[in-house]
Amino acid sequence: AARLAAGREEVGAVVTFTGLCRRGADSGATLAALTLECYPDMAEQELARIEAEARARWPLADALVIHRHGRILPGEPIVFVATLSAHRAAAFEAAQFLMDYLKTSAPFWKQEETAEGTSWVAAKTADDDATRRWEQG
């Protein structure tokens, strides 16, 4: 975030979000690890498309999305989003938009590892609802 903002005198707001792997699995069990699978080229293209849409919707000076894949342990970062704008409202809204779309349209598949075994994580209605709010406005 500091590198993105360095020397950017037109920037009045830098909003960052870091998503971490939590210990609690969606099933309620204790999570040992989360494995995110993807097709890297497809995932990178979709991340670029989502970022371009955010740049088209808000007056951003810059934006950055980094999403990990592979095996991730509780407490480790999964995703990092940064948005820079002259004003905070655009930076906050663009960051929320990016995260909402990452949750629903980025091609990542999650597998939870617990003491009971492994299971794939299903899509959540709440994530779809969060994304739909951007279609209305």
- pLDDT tens per residue across span 48-102: 999 999 999 999 999 999 999 999 999 999 999 999 999 999 999 999 999 999 9
User: Average pLDDT, whole number, for the chain?
Assistant: 92
Locate the DSSP E strands across the chain.
13-20, 31-38, 60-67, 70-72, 77-85, 108-114, 117-120
Query: What would the pLDDT profile of 30-63 be if each residue is shown by its tens digit?
Result: 999 999 999 999 999 999 999 999 999 999 999 9
Cα separation, 119 vs 114, in Å, equals 9
**Contact (CB, 8 A) for 60 and 98:** no
Q: How far apart are CA 113 and CA 68, in angstroms?
A: 17
Between CA 93 and CA 80 the distance in angstroms is: 15
- Whole-model pTM? 0.88
- In angstroms, the CA 58 to CA 94 distance is 7
DSSP 112: E
pLDDT at 135 (0 to 100): 85
- Residues near 35 by Cβ (< 8 Å), separated by ≥ 6? 70, 71, 72, 110, 111, 113, 118
The span from the CA of 16 to the CA of 38, in Å, is 24
